[in-house]
Amino acid sequence: MRISRYILLSSMLLMLSVSATAQQSTEKSDTVTESLLDFRGVSLSTDVFGYAYSILEDYTSGEAALELNLGNKYYPVVEVGYGSCNFTDETFGIHYKSAAPYYRVGLNYNFSNKRGKAPKKSYIYALGRFAFTRADYDVKTPPVTDPVWGGESSLDLKGVNGFYSWVELGVGVNVKIWKHLRMGWSIRYKARVNQVTGANSRMWYIPGFGNSRHTTFGGTYSIIYEIPFK
Amino acid sequence: MKKRTFILLALLLPLLVCCDNGGDCKINNVSYYRAKFYTIDSGTGLEDKTQFAEPINVSLVVNGKDSTVVNHLTDATDLALPMSYTNLCDTVLIEFGDIATDTLFVHHTNIPYFISMDCGVGMYHEITEVNSTGQFIDSVAVIHSYINFDSNENIKIYITE
């Protein structure tokens, strides 16, 4: 809760500072056009890869992102998504169910544009994100037999609270399609930062991350609508 | 532009090879507690690890019957023993050659633990108390009460000199 408040506050402060920069640039017109942090616009996007992923895996997710354009070079991003999983394993007969939102904040860095030159319509960028989710989950397992002493034991857990945070590093491409419509993809390497485990379990499906591992890869394929400011 | 792209790729490629599968899977998902033998020097009061030249036999009392899990172990310094999934107290018979036979009563809780879909459910435990009949064993100390797949030393068994 404290982290989400901090991120929300940071995002609001960022928006206010950018808005202030934009107002200043209007007043001083040409003198700040070369500034690296000059506010150039806002983009809204949705990731379609998460929906398509449900064909391959037993979980699905949808997400939207708000991105600011600072000097056609730096792009602070906030991504909010929702992931769900309802899966029964054939080998062990374990059932796992979870659905929860996830949040990412970070920055895209445009490699293609250079200062003093007209921005390119398509560009390659590097990305960095900090992400987290807090999810409740259910786990039900069939009985396991004690091989030495005999007897059986099983689990039927409901509403276990888990927390998982991670960082993402990657590269992406952003391409202009038509007028203000763009599309893009990104490949991301994800590494766990922290997780809170339960007394009898830990999260298996992490919304926005994937299966519980220390590291994994992910991707996005986004449809983007750009709202230019100048 | 090209130079920067190559640098970026060079930075990212090592990440490809260090991606793990997060696997903590064990063959039968049984966790063992580890006990080491010690003596205490009566003069200095310092503890020292001990090794038995005499063979050790260890049996678990399962449903009223002895079930041997360690047979004629020589030069023994430690033991790794399984715990019951359902009992709250395990009875362990340790036979120190021809010297003596002691019984350990290991009180514990049982913690079934969902690890992952790949590994299934593991059985962890927490030792709450250990008592012995005190024939050859002087005392027992619990040093790591939580038992999972880690290879921690869980209890110290002090032997009468």
Q: Which of A41-50, A51-60, A132-141, A219-228 has the highest mean pLDDT?
A: A132-141
Quick one: chain B helix, strand, coil %, rounded to 5?
10, 55, 35
Asked if the model's pLDDT at residue A228 lies above 50, the reply is yes
The pLDDT value recorded for residue A92 is: 83
Asked if the model's pLDDT at residue B2 lies above 90, the reply is no
How far off is chain A from B122, nearest CA to CA, in Å? 9
The pLDDT value recorded for residue B12 is: 56
Given CA atoms B150, B155, B157, B158 in this order, what sign does their dihedral have? positive
Q: Is B97 on the interface with A (CB under 8 A)?
A: no
Percent of chain A residues past pLDDT 70, beyond the cut: 83
Query: What is the rounded distance in angstroms from the CA atom of residue A226 to the CA atom of residue A72?
Result: 12
Q: Is B113 on the interface with A (CB under 8 A)?
A: yes
A62 near A70, Cβ under 8 Å?
no
Give per-residue pLDDT as tens, B95-107: 988 888 899 999 9
Residue B89: which of B56, B67, B122, B61 has the closest Cα? B61
Structural domains in chain A, CATH included, are: 2-228 (2.40.160.20)
| DSSP code string of chain A | -HHHHHHHHHHHHHHHHHHHHHHHHHHHGGGGTT-TT-EEEEEEEEESHHHHHHHHSSEEEEEEEEEEEETTTEEEEEEEEEEEEEEE-TTT--EEEEEEEEEEEEEEEESS--TTSPPPSSEEEEEEEEEEEEEEEEEE---EE-TTT--EE--EEEEEEEEEEEEEEEEEEEEEEETTEEEEEEEEEEEEEEEE--SSB--SEETTTEES-SEEEEEEEEEEEEEE--
Average pLDDT score over residue span A5-16? 37
Higher pLDDT, A18 or B157: B157
A192 near A211, Cβ under 8 Å?
no
Q: Measure the N-to-C terminal CA separation of chain A; round to a whole number of Å.
A: 37
Higher pLDDT, A159 or B6: A159
Place of tokens 């913690």: B111
The pLDDT value recorded for residue A164 is: 96
Q: Which residue is closest to A211 within chain B, CA to CA?
A: B116
The pLDDT value recorded for residue B9 is: 53
Query: What is the rounded distance in angstroms from the CA atom of residue A190 to the CA atom of residue A165?
Result: 10
Q: Is B4 on the interface with A (CB under 8 A)?
A: yes
Give per-residue pLDDT as tens, A34-67: 566 788 889 999 998 877 777 777 788 899 999 9
Reported ipTM: 0.74
How far off is chain B from A155, nearest CA to CA, in Å? 7
Asked if the model's pLDDT at residue B4 lies above 70, the reply is no
Contact A146 B84 (CB under 8 A): yes
Give per-residue pLDDT as tens, B77-97: 888 999 999 999 999 999 988
Q: Is A201 on the interface with B (CB under 8 A)?
A: yes
Higher pLDDT, B150 or A207: A207
Contact A153 B110 (CB under 8 A): yes
Q: Is B28 on the interface with A (CB under 8 A)?
A: yes
Average pLDDT score over residue span A142-164? 90
pLDDT band (50, 70, 90) for residue B8:
low
Average the pLDDT over each of A161-165, B110-114, B147-151 and give the range with the smallest value. Answer: B147-151
| DSSP code string of A134-174 | EEEEEEE---EE-TTT--EE--EEEEEEEEEEEEEEEEEEE
Higher pLDDT, B136 or A98: A98
Asked if the model's pLDDT at residue B154 lies above 90, the reply is yes
The pLDDT value recorded for residue B24 is: 56
Percent of chain B residues past pLDDT 90, beyond the cut: 36
Give per-residue pLDDT as tens, A16-27: 333 333 333 333
**DSSP SS3 for B118:** coil
